[in-house]
Amino acid sequence: MSEQAERPESRVVVPDDVFPAGVGPQPRRTGPPADRGPGRAHFPIRLWFLGLVLAGALLVLGTSGIRDWWAHRLHDIAGGSEPADFIIGLFIGALPLIGIALGRIGTRGARRVMRMFLFGAAGFVVSYLLSPSLSRYASDSHAGRIFDQQAPGYLWGVLSANALWLVVLGVAWWRVRRWRRSRATQRPGPA
């Protein structure tokens, strides 16, 4: 047989120390692993846990000090003007709605829903940190005392905005329910 007609398999040299698959030195991957998308970094679970613990500690331990500081800053900003306090309170109370509206911009599908949820939650947290909740204000007479002294119209603005976003939530729920009922009762036409 000539050298050109020789098959390539006959020239392969197999060493005696062949490792089975998955054993021995492995080549290094230069790209991202197959289960992650391109450009996505891995964020360790312990950092998520630490961030949640810190956020919880901030919510539990820091709210009264933040509210006291915020009431004094409102008094400095508005100068004791009730209409200015009310408008600032209306804005702070509407932060969840503003966050949801901002989360809706620029994306589609599940990513849009997630952004709307996260931005709305961030607005709710900021609103909660800067004012007592509606239930706390109704059940504890001392919860709003600092705001009544420093920024008299602020809490009414926050409570008005909270009532507004609760009405918006109720209307949205009612519309979705009505849409689902009308869709369920529609019969498909002839084929």
pLDDT in tens, 23-47: 766 666 665 555 555 555 677 888 8
153 secondary structure, DSSP code: T
Q: What's the CA gap between 52 and 58, in Å, rounded?
A: 10
Mean pLDDT of the 168-186 span:
88
With contact defined as beta carbons under 8 Å apart, do 151 and 74 qualify?
yes
120-129 tens-digit pLDDT? 888 888 888 8
Q: What's the CA gap between 28 and 77, in Å, rounded?
A: 59
Residue 106's φ and ψ, nearest 5 degrees, are 90, -5
For residue 30, give both structure tokens: 């230069």
Distances in Å between the Cα of 31 and the Cα atoms of 22, 23, 38 are 19, 21, 8
131-151 tens-digit pLDDT? 877 677 777 767 678 888 888
pLDDT band with cut points at 50, 70 and 90 for residue 86:
very high
Helical pair 95-103 and 154-185, crossing angle rounded to 10 deg = 50
Closest CA to 70 of 133, 146, 163, 160: 146
